Chain A
Amino acid sequence: GQQVMQIPQYQHVQEGEDFTTYCNSSTTLSNIQWYKQRPGGHPVFLIQLVKSGEVKKQKRLTFQFGEAKKNSSLHITATQTTDVGTYFCAGPYAGGTSYGKLTFGQGTILTVHP
């Protein structure tokens, strides 16, 4: 299946510091999605990027899709305790016969110290 690698695995920050997680693929992705999972919860969709070089913002969150469509990043400015959780990127399986099959990165666990 499609291999989507995500780094770092863990990130500890002080409240107010910035945070970035990176997602890399060995092949070109038609699109990439980002999800957030709060502790004890389930993953919740944040955003989808489709175009090469695309940048989207959601308040303090900035999402980027690389020019080659092989990497993506999520940047949080001035973290808050409400940002705590695991952030996943997800992309489509390469090849295969089916449409809609989704593979996830390993996730980045963000801890925010008040």
Chain B
Amino acid sequence: DVKVTQSSRYLVKRTGEKVFLECVQDMDHENMFWYRQDPGLGLRLIYFSYDVKMKEKGDIPEGYSVSREKKERFSLILESASTNQTSMYLCASSLSRWGSPNTEAFFGQGTRLTVV
């Protein structure tokens, strides 16, 4: 079974803090994603990585950065947390298969971040 593990289920941080959300997958997937989920807005892509050290911005990258130093690990960094970054953060991974633009995405359990 594919497993995508996020480091924390719940997190409370103060405004201005630097926050790290960690995600690890154990299936050797090339693609990894960070999404943010808010009521009525669905899943919005923050960043996407298709290989080690490779990243692409999603729809809402402002205020976030990412790091992918190893294939299995994808970190989301909030440089200076703000209250409008209070949300559910979901990490996902998928296989990159030649000839198939998308394959099934596997999600972690999510991190509920509250910035106070």
Q: Residues of A within 8 Å of B, CB-based: how many?
A: 29
Are A42 and B90 in contact, CB atoms less than 8 angstroms apart?
Answer: yes
Q: How far is the CB of B79 from chain A (nearest CB, A)?
A: 22
B positions within 8 Å CB-CB of A = 30-31, 33, 35, 40-45, 48, 50, 56, 58-59, 90, 92, 94, 96, 100-110
CA gap between A100 and B106 in the complex, in Å: 13
CA gap between A41 and B59 in the complex, in Å: 23
Known contacts A30-B101, A107-B43, then 17 further A-B pairs from the complex at CB < 8 Å, ordered by chain A residue: A1-B59, A31-B101, A33-B102, A42-B109, A42-B110, A43-B43, A48-B102, A92-B101, A98-B48, A98-B56, A101-B58, A102-B33, A102-B45, A103-B45, A103-B59, A104-B44, A106-B41
